[in-house]
Structure 1
């Protein structure tokens, strides 16, 4: 049982959705498995305070959050407390002292006025005592009511009494001295811890003045009271400075490739912590790369799924294309993986030998260009993972660019004809592109390489292009045979006259062979006019009447100098023989394993048409003859190519039966045959539009007019001889 038979057998058990879902799952699982080793970080079985048996480097750049936090806390601790010098405090304290003296003066003035008014009723000594006590009380009341500070409890009563007993001049002089010294001291920065020193300085300055002792004491107390800190600690600003200091600290990082521990060195707590943080311990491996690979695989499968979901073709063909492209993709990734393992064995830059253009060329040849480009992008991404250097980088951008452009070159250079020589030529052109890519990557990187290395890299790039074309040519027949893919190259091979069936057709049925070639000319031209596959139509025409080789004499084009056997046969027997050629041809084609498209054309080129000649012949003998008995079994044409061949087959046979047809007669006949097939419903099951039918008819007329053009009538040779002898003029 061949591969296609296995696939068909699976399809009988699974629905389209289940089968395609299974393919996607298997493809994703294979891709994940192949790439897993390239993303899985290497882990070590290490114990704390053991000796390292090898040098361990960091496989990635990570931030050491603990060290970063420590560095930031240290930076914050280095920030001094922020103090703010408030000049307005000095003015406030001066104003406070000035207000005290003003209240003392006002209290004395009011008390003196009351005493003068009542001096006749009380003695002078008693009045003074009452006045002093009253004034003290009034002063303290005023200070309490008008000053927010608790002055009366801070400054003792004797101080207030001394001020109340002083005369106006002495009070004014004390006031000036206190204010001047307070203002002088408070204009300097005074912090909390320097307050006592500032108070002592004020006291020393006031004590050095010429005031009386009692006033010196009072002035000193007021001066010391006026001194307060004016360079104040600002917690908010300090916190901002600390925060800024933390933000200014660069994160402490363990760089990719950095040595964590040297071989033979002790693994202390700090080293062990770094290994644990990097996920290099078997007891605590990191899962992040595996999750990242899973996301990549999902994106890859999703891209392929979206493409095939939007593909407008039959479900069976979609499945074939999906399975084929998946196999090509996995084969490419496996080759990539093998080369990647060789690179690990100190073969530097051997990634450039990877046949990056192989998969795109195969997919373009057998499927289409769009899928080939999508696959090129996916392979470039896979290559960046497979060929990356685990110490210096996560993915290799150079390799990704190399595979991407090399694959695109393969897609661009594979011509529409896809012959082996053209594929090999495309491989040579890809090699040239690879050389340019290598030069670009090596020169732009500024790497220092020897001449020998440059030669090796160039050799790798040339081998990559040639290997791509060789693998494409070698794998193409296997994929085509296994999946029944009808590529352009396969069609060209089938059109070779040395094919056994065509040789048989030519030797046993030369008339049918000639008819097939003529129909091929008509069909190819018409298919190209409507955008159908002209080459498929031509090759299909070559094989569409292979069934006639079973009974050649029963078909008129092979009846050369013999009697028509149908004249001696009943209509029913003739009908069976004629109809059988479509079925016999399909069987013969399947026997020789020709592509399904060619077999379908052989089966469908007559559709369910009526054998009118034999039907009416039978009807003469029996009026009740059913029409269905004289129709081909079908099916009707399912594709545009089959429909065009059906029409071309009828047109060619009809025109050939005409004697010296004129362009008008040809046009009329073509129109009549086309209308007859339309009315008979022969084109109801294909997507051939009326507009396209008109284009087909027009192209038929042009081709037939070229074949059956009028020729010059040459005179009879005997007449020519007579004229040459001068017998006649």
Structure 2
């Protein structure tokens, strides 16, 4: 006895609709994908040390910056920049201002002395009231020094100050302008710290050219020499900018991906060892960064997959059984990739191209939908690029990624839905051929110096991988179909074979029903294809929809050939019970035969909850009071388009077959009436078929019936010729 599919398992029925089941399946897929890719990202540690010998060519698997070396180079660049000097005109202005303040202070002291001596009075004072004791020279010197800045008070001599205090206003003006002009002229040029004394000599020479008395000249020299200071100083801001620019010009010290760090047999210097350490190749470096990145990538891949299923109109969106199937297909494909990746350490050139990359896309295309296979080819390509990276200096091998993508895509684009050997071999040939072409193109694109032996070897492995994919897919297909109750196109084609035991049973025990089912199948298939539904499913469902009639074939009019109608002897209620039972008897027969659920649903739903009008009105004629529900099918009503179309085609075929002299007008009127009756009776309320689609179904059925019940030419009867005379 065959095992029941998971869809019929009680434990799965209890948990499959749980709100966390989808999250659990996606989480399991992300975890399995992460674990499968981890080994390919863990770098092989080298048992080396500074001063030792490199056991092999050592190349960096990653690009990483040597921050210490970069910082050292930047510091060298900063140290090599000399300080930036510049003339600060503010210094000249400050010095001249300080000199002028001395002259202003001298004038102020002179004014105060004259007031104190009574030489000056205000208009409010009497002359005698302003008098007082005159200031001595020492008092004047003490007063002016107390008002000068400490620096100026300390630098100017008593003789200079006394000379200025004893000078007239004209002499002070001459001295002020001369010293200010001389200091301004000298400090208009660069005056560095070591050039200050030379500048003071220059200003002294300029001042001595003035025509003043000697004592004032010395005072002017003293004042002007003190006014000279360095104005060519280090510009801190400009220096900082120059050093910052020099540091920014330094390129980071980087160990680049694929860079040869040490050749085999070469002595490992401390610099080489540091580069190996930074690249994570030594046993004293352990980094979790690649694993964190892998976790993000795998999570993102599964998230994108889930988002795609949410947006796309696929069965995986709502059906957790199909999602579980997809997770298993994905896991199986990744596992096959992982097994193939174990060939890499053997060093056989191109052997990893044997990977059956198209298995996942083939199975998803045959069991679910082709668009799912197309999307999976992207994810398989990313996984392959990360997994087959041992021969690459990069974390991802793009040759394998492109190869797996095109191989998987070919499995979807050239997939034939039948399971015939010739068709499968044709699909495998396409996959193998495209895989070989892609590998050849990638190697040529990289400019690899391949020999005349290596290139055909790579293409040969890829060609073989294509055939391995189709062999595995065809071999695994029956297990997935049986385990998940998946109704694939190949399974439908298999069920449409007239030699199937149930179809043989219908043909032999109820030949009229068999013929009726064939006509219904033709009508339903054409109508479903007109509205974009699954025509093959409708055809096969129509073949089996009346299987229950084989239990009592003589009670159905299409099987009553040259025999009395047994319903003439039965009560209407009894006849109705016999007729009403046939959809459910048939569904039970199909369940026992392990037919797919969709076929069983069509058999059970094709009459919905319609009324057996003939026996209902016959019962009303006999008894008058009859419960309508006793003469209705108990349902369920059609819940998907194919079931609804088969129900319409079933009623139409039976009605048209009973017509006398059917014409196109009569047929169209009858079809419209049957469909309107079902619509008004609510038989499509649980189905997602639209009014527009019902109109298309009407047109398709009428067109098909036009070809079936076309008018025929009435051939005249053949009359014997009149015997010739003499015969």
Asked if these proteins are the same fold (TM beyond 0.5), I'd say yes
**Distance 1:724-1:250 versus aligned 2 partners, 3 A rule:** farther
**Distance 1:177-1:364 versus aligned 2 partners, 3 A rule:** same
Q: Hey, what does 2:696 align to over in structure 1? A: 695
Is the 8 Å Cα contact of residues 506 and 513 (structure 1) preserved in structure 2? yes
| Pairing 1:628-639 to 2, within 5 Å after superposition | 628-639=629-640
**Distance 1:581-1:205 versus aligned 2 partners, 3 A rule:** closer
Q: Hey, what does 2:458 align to over in structure 1? A: 457
Q: Residue 666 in 1 paired to residue 667 in 2?
A: yes
| Pairing 1:350-389 to 2, within 5 Å after superposition | 350-389=351-390
Is the 8 Å Cα contact of residues 31 and 330 (structure 1) preserved in structure 2? yes
Q: Hey, what does 1:587 align to over in structure 2? A: 588
| Alpha-carbon distance in structure 1 between the residues aligned to 2:173 and 2:521 | 132
**Distance 1:105-1:516 versus aligned 2 partners, 3 A rule:** closer
1:264-293: CA deviation from partner (whole Å, max 9, x where unpaired): 899898777666655556665212211112
Q: Hey, what does 2:329 align to over in structure 1? A: 328
Is the 8 Å Cα contact of residues 429 and 467 (structure 2) preserved in structure 1? yes
Unaligned runs of 5+ in 2: 121-133
Compare 407-416 and 698-707 and name the one that shifted more: 407-416
Deviation at 1:509, TM superposition (A): 2.8
**What is the TM-score of this pair, normalised by structure 1?**
0.82
Q: Hey, what does 1:228 align to over in structure 2? A: 229
**Distance 1:558-1:723 versus aligned 2 partners, 3 A rule:** farther
Q: Hey, what does 2:250 align to over in structure 1? A: 249
| Alpha-carbon distance in structure 2 between the residues aligned to 1:634 and 1:178 | 121
Compare 534-543 and 166-175 and name the one that shifted more: 166-175
**Distance 1:458-1:46 versus aligned 2 partners, 3 A rule:** closer
**Distance 1:298-1:7 versus aligned 2 partners, 3 A rule:** farther
Name the SS for the 1:380 alignment partner: helix
Name the SS for the 2:395 alignment partner: coil
Deviation at 1:3, TM superposition (A): 5.9
Q: Hey, what does 1:38 align to over in structure 2? A: 40
Deviation at 1:587, TM superposition (A): 2.9
Deviation at 1:229, TM superposition (A): 0.8
Deviation at 1:90, TM superposition (A): 5.6
Name the SS for the 2:20 alignment partner: helix
Is the 8 Å Cα contact of residues 572 and 615 (structure 2) preserved in structure 1? yes
Q: Residue 27 in 1 paired to residue 26 in 2?
A: no
Name the SS for the 2:5 alignment partner: helix
Is the 8 Å Cα contact of residues 113 and 135 (structure 2) preserved in structure 1? no
| Alpha-carbon distance in structure 2 between the residues aligned to 1:600 and 1:394 | 51
1:441-490: CA deviation from partner (whole Å, max 9, x where unpaired): 33443333223232233334433444443433333333222222212222
Deviation at 1:35, TM superposition (A): 1.0
Deviation at 1:322, TM superposition (A): 0.5
Q: Hey, what does 2:76 align to over in structure 1? A: 74
Compare 425-434 and 514-523 and name the one that shifted more: 425-434
Deviation at 1:715, TM superposition (A): 1.4
Deviation at 1:55, TM superposition (A): 6.8
**What is the TM-score of this pair, normalised by structure 2?**
0.82
Deviation at 1:517, TM superposition (A): 1.0
| Pairing 1:278-677 to 2, within 5 Å after superposition | 278-279=279-280, 285-310=286-311, 318-389=319-390, 392-414=393-415, 421-567=422-568, 574-615=575-616, 626-677=627-678
Is the 8 Å Cα contact of residues 256 and 391 (structure 1) preserved in structure 2? no
Q: Hey, what does 1:722 align to over in structure 2? A: 721
| Alpha-carbon distance in structure 2 between the residues aligned to 1:225 and 1:458 | 92
Is the 8 Å Cα contact of residues 49 and 266 (structure 1) preserved in structure 2? yes
Compare 32-41 and 667-676 and name the one that shifted more: 667-676
| Alpha-carbon distance in structure 2 between the residues aligned to 1:652 and 1:60 | 71
| Alpha-carbon distance in structure 1 between the residues aligned to 2:267 and 2:441 | 45
RMSD (Å), alpha carbons: 4.6
| Alpha-carbon distance in structure 2 between the residues aligned to 1:111 and 1:565 | 155
Is the 8 Å Cα contact of residues 548 and 587 (structure 2) preserved in structure 1? yes
Name the SS for the 2:335 alignment partner: helix
**Distance 1:308-1:170 versus aligned 2 partners, 3 A rule:** closer
Is the 8 Å Cα contact of residues 58 and 263 (structure 2) preserved in structure 1? yes
| Alpha-carbon distance in structure 2 between the residues aligned to 1:471 and 1:38 | 25
| Alpha-carbon distance in structure 1 between the residues aligned to 2:91 and 2:265 | 67
| Pairing 1:150-169 to 2, within 5 Å after superposition | 150-161=151-162
| Alpha-carbon distance in structure 1 between the residues aligned to 2:682 and 2:170 | 135
**Distance 1:7-1:91 versus aligned 2 partners, 3 A rule:** same
| Alpha-carbon distance in structure 2 between the residues aligned to 1:66 and 1:505 | 85
| Alpha-carbon distance in structure 2 between the residues aligned to 1:374 and 1:85 | 70
Compare 280-289 and 28-37 and name the one that shifted more: 280-289
1:16-46: CA deviation from partner (whole Å, max 9, x where unpaired): 3233333223222211111111223445688
| Alpha-carbon distance in structure 2 between the residues aligned to 1:670 and 1:187 | 112
**Distance 1:148-1:573 versus aligned 2 partners, 3 A rule:** same
Q: Hey, what does 1:708 align to over in structure 2? A: 709
**Matched length:** 711
